[in-house]
Amino acid sequence: MRPSSASALFAICISLCAASANAASGNTCSASSPAHRAALVELYTSEGCNSCPPADNWLGALDHARRTDTIVPLALHVDYWDNRAWKDRFAQAAFTTRQQQLTSAGSGHVVYTPEIFVGGKELRDWSSDASFESRIKQLNSETPLADIHIDGHPSAPGHIAFNASFTARKNLPDDVVAYAAVYENQLVSAVNGGENNGATLHHDRVVRQWIGPIRLTEGRAQLSGDYASDAMRFGVVAFVERGTNGEVLQVAELASCGG
């Protein structure tokens, strides 16, 4: 693993509500956050890191085994591993920045891969089932401070437009901001350089679009975007978090809306 210095920037988002998607007529669909606090699980990873594939596989297994109203996983590929030997095609500088911000908010000083955050807080012993399940149960036992709703509908040919709406509940902090992310599943890379040279890597829940942050005004906010209408590969996650410490307060997911 190669560490990188974490910049002392103000921290970011609070995740939206993990939820069940209910298909309506045609390709129109919607999802809402649950009545309890759902857990946003963020994996910071890279194709240039030879200790990352086991974490990628863990996240994929978590996705298949989870209840969608308790856990919402995302994989964010950072760019500080990119070099002449291998460049991760899914890496974005914005994800490196977010990892640095979350680390700084938690009084950390270095970022590394693979790294897991649950609800905006680092979980170093994520590979321990007991530790991971304890953190999830703790978050799920809490009452959410915001409600999230995501609607999807056909837009341009081959695309789904979505709108995520955020509504504050009583006692929501003033520093809350909203985000949305489009993820993609079933991605495969044949790596021919770097630490994973010769490996074929499989990825799920890879963030391809990152929208936000936007502040809630008078307790409300909306974010919109679109994605390719492949029901099995794409989905939308929306969440709210505290801008001062990165704590994700609620998260929701529209798992698919394709035809």
The 10s digit of each residue's pLDDT in 128-166 is: 999 999 999 999 999 999 999 999 999 888 899 999 999
Residue 17 predicted with pLDDT over 50: no
The 10s digit of each residue's pLDDT in 31-72 is: 999 999 999 999 999 999 999 999 999 999 999 888 779 999
Quote the pTM value. Answer: 0.88
The 10s digit of each residue's pLDDT in 123-133 is: 999 999 999 99
DSSP the chain: ---EEPP-PPP--EE-----EEE-STT-EEEE--SS--EEEEEEE-TT-TTSHHHHHHHHHHHHHS-TTTEEEEEEE-STT--SS---TT--HHHHHHHHHHHHHTT--EE-SSEEEETTEE-TTTTSHHHHHHHHHHHHTSPPSEEEEEEEEE-STTEEEEEEEEEE-TT--TTEEEEEEEEE-SEEEE--SGGGTT-EEEE-SEEEEEEEEEE-BTTEEEEEEEEE--TTTEEEEEEEEETTT--EEEEEEE-----
The 10s digit of each residue's pLDDT in 93-115 is: 999 999 999 999 999 999 999 99
Q: Region 173-185: what's the mean pLDDT?
A: 97
Q: Which amino acid is at 187?
A: L
122/9: higher pLDDT: 122
Q: Region 216-224: what's the mean pLDDT?
A: 96
259: confidence class by pLDDT, cuts 50, 70, 90: low
Q: What is the pLDDT of residue 258?
A: 61
The number of angstroms, rounded, from the C-alpha of 216 to the middle of its chain's C-alpha atoms is: 20
Q: What is the pLDDT of residue 157?
A: 87
